[in-house]
Amino acid sequence: MDSPAVGAGTSRLVRYWRHLSPSSLFVGSFALLIALGTLGLLVLPGLYTGTRLGVIDALFTITSGVCVTGLVVVDTGAHFTFWGQLWILVFIQLGGLGVVTLSSAIIGMLGHRLSLRSALMTVATVRETHGRELARLTWAVTRYIFAIEAAGTLLLWAQWAPRHGVVKGLWHAVFHAVSATCNAGFSTHVGNLVGDARRPGVLITISALIVLGGLGYLAIGELVAWWRAGGLRGPRRLSTHTYAVVWTTAGLLVAGTALLLVFEWRGVLAPFDLVDKVANAWFMSVTPRTAGFNAVGYGEITNASGYLCVLLMFVGGSPGSTAGGVKTTALAVVLALGVSRLRGRRYAEINHRAIPDSTVQRAVSLTLLSFILITACVFVLCITETHGLSPALARQKFLPLIFEAVSAFGTVGLSMDLTPALTSVGKLVIIALMFIGRVGPLTLVAAIALRATARPAELRPAREDLVIG
C-alpha cells in the first residue's frame, strides 16, 4: 500500500504536468525522447553491425532522429542492423508526430482555429486549447501522417521490390516513407539515395512526401476544404496563412530548381541526361526544405549551389509541419514588409490583407534571432574545427561549416561531407543547434506572442530619431 508521502508526491507531479504550457510540454517531450533513444542505443543488444556508438555519437544520432534532421556520424544503412534501424525509425516517427501535434496546439494558443472543417488558420482571440479539441486534432493529424506514409510506402515498394526483393524492398519503402514524410532524411541505403539518382520515379515520390510533410497539416486541411468548395470558382477564400504558405513554397521550389540547373549543369549534374538532370535539380531544391536526403554528393557542388542551399535551409518549411527553419510564412511577411516600405505604405500586405504589426514583429524577431544564433555557432565551429590548420585549409572549410550549422538549425540533414569529421565539441554544438532549431523558433514565437498579449499597457519613452543608411 502506498504511503501518504508517495501519494502526495504523485499528486504534485500530476498537478505540475497539468499546469505545463504547450511550449514547455513541447520542449520537455523532445528532451525525454532524446534521453530514452540515446539510452537505448547505448545499452540495447543487436542494434549494430559493428562497433557500438559512444555517448556523444549516440546522442547525436538520436537527436538527429527525434528532431527529424538527418545529420549522421555513421552511415545508417551500413552501421545498424534491422533492429537498430527500427529503433531509429520509431524515434523519427515519434518526433515527427510530436512536431505536428504539439506545434498545432501552440498555433492554437496563438489564436488560430484548429477545426479542419472550419476556416482554418483564421485569426481569432488568444484562447486555451481544450483537451477534447486537442485530442481530436491529434487523431486527425496522426491519420493524415499515416495516410501519406502508407501511400508513399506502396509507391516506393513497387519501385524497389524488383531491385531488393519483396521483403527487403518493403522495409526500405516503409523506412524512407516515414523518414521523408517526417522530413528526417535518414536512409537505410548505403550512401543515402545516391544509388537512385537515375531513378526519377523514386526521386519524385520521395520529394512529394517531403513537400506534403513540410506544408503542414493545417494548410493541407484548408486546401482540401477549399478545393471541395470549388477552388478558384468557389465561394471559399484561402486564408492569408495558407496563401502565403502555398505561393512561397512554390516560388522557392521553382526558383531553386531553375538556379540549381544553371549552377550544376556542368557540375554534379553533368553525367545525367536531360530527364535525370531536371529530376535531380528538383530533388536538390526540395530536400533543403527540410529533409536532408541526397542523391548527389554535396561535397562536390559549386559555391553558388552551396550558398543557395544555405538560404533554402534557413527558410525551411511551413508552420505546423515536420519541417524546420524560420518557416515560409516568416519569409513571406518579411518580403511583404520590404515591398510595403518601398511603396511608402505603413503596413505589410499579403493577398490584399494587412498583416498585424504584432505578426510582423514576430517574423522579424524570429529571423534576426535565428541569424544571430547561427552566426555565434559558426564562430565556435570555425575555432574548434579549423584548429591547427593553415589559413588556406581553414578557408576551404568555411562554406562547409556554415552549411553544417544552417543544416542543423533548419533540421535539414544535408552535409558537405563534414559531419563524421567533427570534433567532440563540434558535435555538441551541432546537437544544440538541432535541438534549438527543432523546438526553439516555435516556442520563441509562442513566448513573444503570449507575453505581448498578457503585458499591460506601458508608457513609451520620448521619441528621438537617428540616421539610417
Task: Give me the mean pLDDT over the 263-267 stretch.
Answer: 94
Q: Could you read off the pLDDT of 104-131 as tens digits, one per residue?
A: 555 555 444 433 333 333 332 223 344 5
For residue 280 the three cell numbers come to 535531380
**pLDDT surpasses 90 at 144:** no
pLDDT for res 271: 93
Confidence at 455, pLDDT banded by 50, 70, 90: low
Q: Which residues pair with 112 in a beta bridge?
A: 123
More confident residue, 60 or 216: 60
Task: Give me the mean pLDDT over the 430-446 stretch.
Answer: 77
Counting residues of the chain whose pLDDT is more than 90, the rounded percentage is: 45
Confidence at 253, pLDDT banded by 50, 70, 90: very high
The dihedral region occupied by 191, where left means phi > 0, alpha psi between -120 and 50, and beta the remainder, is left
pLDDT for res 266: 93
| Most confident region among 218-232, 278-292, 313-327 by mean pLDDT | 278-292
Confidence at 240, pLDDT banded by 50, 70, 90: confident
Confidence at 190, pLDDT banded by 50, 70, 90: confident
Identify the three-state secondary structure at position 115: coil
Q: Which region among 21-35, 266-280, 283-297, 305-319 has the lowest average model confidence (pLDDT)?
A: 21-35
**pLDDT surpasses 90 at 170:** yes
> Taking the CB of residue 18, how many other CB atoms lie within 10 A of it?
7
**pLDDT surpasses 90 at 357:** no
pLDDT for res 185: 86
Task: Give me the mean pLDDT over the 428-454 stretch.
Answer: 71
pLDDT for res 128: 35
**pLDDT surpasses 50 at 287:** yes
Query: 249-278 as b/e, with b when 16 or more CB fall inside 10 Å?
Result: beebbeebbebbbebbeeebbeebeeebbe
Confidence at 468, pLDDT banded by 50, 70, 90: low
pLDDT for res 465: 65
The backbone torsions φ and ψ at residue 197, rounded to the nearest 5 degrees and listed phi first, read: -65, -25
**pLDDT surpasses 90 at 39:** yes
Amino acid identity of residue 180, one-letter, is A
pLDDT for res 279: 95
Task: Give me the mean pLDDT over the 319-324 stretch.
Answer: 79
Residues 173, 158: Cα–Cα separation, whole Å: 9
Confidence at 95, pLDDT banded by 50, 70, 90: confident
pLDDT for res 117: 31
Query: Following DSSP, what letter does each residue of 44-73 receive, concatenated?
Result: -SS-BSSSPP-HHHHHHHHHHHHTT----S
Residues 65, 97: Cα–Cα separation, whole Å: 12
Give the angle subtended at the CA of 310 by the CAs of 445 and 94, to the nearest 5°: 55
Confidence at 8, pLDDT banded by 50, 70, 90: low
**pLDDT surpasses 60 at 462:** yes
More confident residue, 103 or 406: 406
Contacts of 13 (CB under 8 A, 6+ apart): none
Q: What is the CA radius of gyration of the chain?
A: 23
Identify the three-state secondary structure at position 199: coil
For residue 128 the three cell numbers come to 486555451
Task: Give me the mean pLDDT over the 85-107 stretch.
Answer: 77
pLDDT for res 379: 95
pLDDT for res 119: 31
pLDDT for res 191: 86
Q: Which region among 218-222, 325-329, 361-365, 377-381 has the lowest average model confidence (pLDDT)?
A: 218-222
| Most confident region among 155-164, 239-248, 345-354 by mean pLDDT | 155-164
Residues 322, 331: Cα–Cα separation, whole Å: 18
pLDDT for res 112: 44
Q: Mean pLDDT, the chain, as a whole number?
A: 83
pLDDT for res 11: 61
pLDDT for res 104: 57
Q: Which region among 17-21, 114-118, 298-302 has the lowest average model confidence (pLDDT)?
A: 114-118
Q: How far is the CA of 113 from the CAs of 107, 305, 309, in angstroms?
A: 9, 39, 34
